[in-house]
Each structure stands twice: as C-alpha cells, then as structure tokens.
Amino acid sequence: MISETFYHFGLVGWPLDHSLSPILHTNFMQAAGINGRYDLYPVSPEQNRQNELKSLFLRFRHKELHGLNITIPYKETVLGYLDNLNPVARDIGAVNTIYLHQNQLVGENTDASGFMADLKWFINNTQRLDKEEPKSVLILGAGGSARAIVYGLSRAGWQVTIAARRLDQAQSLARELSQSDLFPLYPIPLTPAALSNQIPDLIVNTTPVGMSPNIEASPWPAELALPSHTSLYDLVYNPPVTKLVRRAQEAGLNATTGLGMLVEQAALAFERWTGFHASIETKQMVKKLASDQIR
C-alpha cells in the first residue's frame, strides 16, 4: 500500500535507551510504502509524568500523532487518559497500543496476541512442549506484561501459576483474570521454597529483571535449579541472551527471549494504525534487523 499521509508514531515509557521499536516500525513503514517517523517519548516516573502524558495525548487528539505504543511502567497508568478500550485491553486491564477512532482515544493490547503467535513458533521448534493438553505454565511477575501473558495462556487452556515477589499482587492478578472456577489461576510467592515445588511445562519471565544494563540479574533464585523438563521464555530481549536464558540453555533446556513477541506485537499495532498486514517474510526480516542491532 502507498499513502501520501506522513505518519507520526511513537513509544511512551521509561527507560527507552535501548528500545528497538523505532527500528521495527521504520522497517514496517518501508515495507508498506508509508512515509513517516517513529519517535521515543521517555517519561520519567520520578518527574511530573502527568503533565507530560497529558501533553502527548493532547497532540494525539489534534492528530499530530497517528499511533502510540506504551511500555513499562505505563501500561496500566494510561488507562485513565483514554476514552475507550477494546475488549481485550479491557479484560487484561493494560494497554500497549493507542489509536484515534472517531475522535476518541482507544486503548488496545497486542501483547497477548503477539506473545501467543511467537509462542506457537517456539512450540513448533522445540521437542519439549509436545505433551498432550492441558499444559502448565509458571509466570514470573504480576505486572502489566504479566497480565497480557496470563490472559493469552489461560484462555488457550493452559494451567497457569503466577509467582510474584509480592504475593498480594499475584493474588490480585489471579482474581481479576480468572475466567471461572473451571480455569483457576494459582498465585504463589516468588521464593525458592515456593518455586521448588513447581514442575511446569513452560516458564515465562514477564519481569524486566535481567534487562540491559543490568544483564547479570536474573528473576530465578541463584540457589535453585531450574526444573529439568521445562522450556523457558524470557520476555526480556536485550541483551540477546539474558542470564536466565543462558542458564536454561546450559541446563539443556529450550529457551528463547521475547524478541519474536516484540516483533509480533509491533506488527499488530502497526496494522491497527495503518491497515498494513505484515507478511511472515517481512516479520522475519524485521526480526533479523532488530537482532543484529542488539548483538
């Protein structure tokens, strides 16, 4: 598709120094034949973030912006600035994509669909996730990213356990996202004692622990071995091999970072903003370019 419109997109969050979003969306624009730019809007939580967020959304309403992505720590904070939420974002209680529809700011969540799409690829390329349904998953963290992952997995029939340093946060997430008594979510503390009892098919880290520049950090307790028959998915993608992924691979486990999810959720957001549907080949090309950037 070719458009004469000059699009202006961006990302809101903190920190954004190592964000790959400009690379992803610039290449999606090139693939779509679209003129535009993608800027970073770092908003420090320690400053008066309310004024900065209000200013950005006012520009959005004036159509100076055509699409925004939202990342840590604002996926839940921005809900109060929006006019409407699509059903998935409403159920999850967090947004990562914002667009203007009929002069209303609408929040959407492409994290859940993006994760499930990349998880499908991961499963198809691993021999460790070939058990019959239902599968079990242990989620590390209970923040905005966890909400989307729990939502996607629980509605796909996975048995979900949520481990968080603050047990009350895991309990709250379980209460809010549990579909029914037939599909309960199990909250536990993120402690060695509690984790030692877990033997999941899959572990998903949704925390930012291990993200650059703190690359020697890991959300999994150092004194506790990883379960022997599990696979691991770390949403952190920078560095290209996190300490958690490296440890899993050294233990003979299949493990991956969240770079694939990043590309998938970005492609869905870009499609919402422009109508351009990225092909598998385009997404693979964009993923390689992003991977080269962080090596």
Q: Provide the sign of the torsion angle of the four alpha carbons 252, 257, 261, 267, taken in this order.
A: negative
The CA-to-CA distance between both ends of the chain, in Å, stands at 32
- Match 């946060």 to its residue by tokens: 169
Do the two domains 3-110+262-293 and 113-259 of this chain adopt the same fold? yes
The tokens of 151 are what? 């939502």
Q: Which residue has the tokens 């000059």?
A: 6
CA distance 83 to 148: 20
Give the model confidence (pLDDT) of 148-158 as tens digits. Answer: 999 999 999 99
Q: Where are the domains of the chain?
A: 3-110+262-293, 113-259
**3-110+262-293 maps to which CATH number?**
3.40.50.10860
Q: How confident is the model at residue 126 (pLDDT cuts 50, 70, 90)?
A: confident
DSSP string, the chain: --EEEEEEEEEEES--TT--HHHHHHHHHHHHTEEEEEEEEE--TTS-HHHHHHHHHHHHHTTS-SEEEE-TT-TTGGGGG-SEE-HHHHHHT--SEEEEETTEEEEE--HHHHHHHHHHHHHHT-SSS-SPSPPEEEEE--SHHHHHHHHHHHHTT-EEEEEESSHHHHHHHHHHH---TTS-EEEEESSHHHHTT---SEEEE-S-TT-TT-TT--SS-TTSPPPTT-EEEES--SSSS-HHHHHHHHTT-EEEETHHHHHHHHHHHHHHHH-----HHHHHHHHHHHHHHT-
- Split at pLDDT 50, 70, 90, the class of 51 is confident
Query: Over the stretch 18-40, which tens digit does the pLDDT of each residue have?
Result: 899 999 999 999 999 999 999 99
Percent of the chain exceeding pLDDT 70 equals 94
Active site residue 54: no
The active-site residue out of 75, 243, 283, 287 is 75
Distance separating alpha carbons of residues 248 and 2, to the nearest angstrom: 45
Mean pLDDT of 194-215: 95
User: Which among 185, 114, 186, 190 has a CA at the least distance from the CA of 152?
Assistant: 114
Mean pLDDT of the chain: 92
> Structure pTM?
0.92
Q: Which fold has domain 113-259?
A: Rossmann fold (3.40.50)
Sequence length of the chain is 295
